[in-house]
Amino acid sequence: MRLNELLAATKALCRTGWMIRGVPGGEAESVAEHSFEAAVLAYMLAQRLLREGAKVSPERAATMAIFHDMGETVMGDLVKWTGKRVDKEKVEREAYKQVEVGEELFQEYLQRDSIEAKVSKLADVLSTHLQAIRYSRLGYKMDDIVNSTDKELEGILSDRDLAVLRGVVLDLKGGEDS
């Protein structure tokens, strides 16, 4: 896939979960919008860890967040129902071969062996959580996503490398209006 096509696809591909819940295509968050928000969150969260003395690269965490969903430009944004019935990781790995960019970042993201990968995953889930809250405030029914991402955030924050971020995440969830 050529770079220009890849970039256009990330901007055009709406996240399927929002549309299933009634958000019109024109209002639904794109993969590019989600990845950008996740990258900004990853950078900010990693900066906080750095200030707390962790050995972490905010730039790598942010870059990983930018690329974490790039495979969706080839395979589409699979809904959870599909993801539970196919080997999603295998499909994503094949998609990254087509994309020809970010494959090593995606592998690191999946393995969660580095603190940057853990931060990137936290940022990914937090971005989805915050967007679900935004859509809820517009009248769309997002309780299932808000609840499932809230539980997932709790699990991620139970990792001792990330536990110090609990207060920051709670502030972001509570201060979502800003």
Q: Give the list of residues 6+ apart from residue 85 with CB closer than 8 angstroms, or none.
A: none
- Whose CA is closest to 116, among 49, 32, 30, 35? 49
Question: What pTM does this model have?
Answer: 0.88
pLDDT top residue among 175 and 90: 90
Q: Give the list of residues 6+ apart from residue 157 with CB closer than 8 angstroms, or none.
A: 122, 163, 165, 166, 169
What tens digit of pLDDT does each residue of 93-145 get? 776 677 666 778 888 888 899 999 999 999 999 999 999 999 999 999 999 99
Q: What is the pLDDT of residue 177?
A: 46
Write out the two tokens for 86. Answer: 């196919």
User: Average pLDDT, stretch 56-71?
Assistant: 91
CATH architecture, domain defined by 3-174: Orthogonal Bundle (1.10)
CA–CA separation, 70 vs 65, rounded Å? 10
Q: What is the pLDDT of residue 77?
A: 66
What tens digit of pLDDT does each residue of 5-29 get? 888 888 988 898 999 999 998 999 9
- Our CA dihedral for 8, 112, 61, 47, rounded to 10 degrees, sits at 150
Write out the two tokens for 169. Answer: 């995440």
Q: What is the pLDDT of residue 1?
A: 62
Question: Do residues 105 and 64 lie in contact, with contact meaning Cβ atoms separated by under 8 Å?
Answer: yes
What tens digit of pLDDT does each residue of 142-170 get? 999 999 999 999 999 999 999 999 999 99
What tens digit of pLDDT does each residue of 68-82 get? 887 777 766 666 766
Q: What is the pLDDT of residue 178?
A: 40
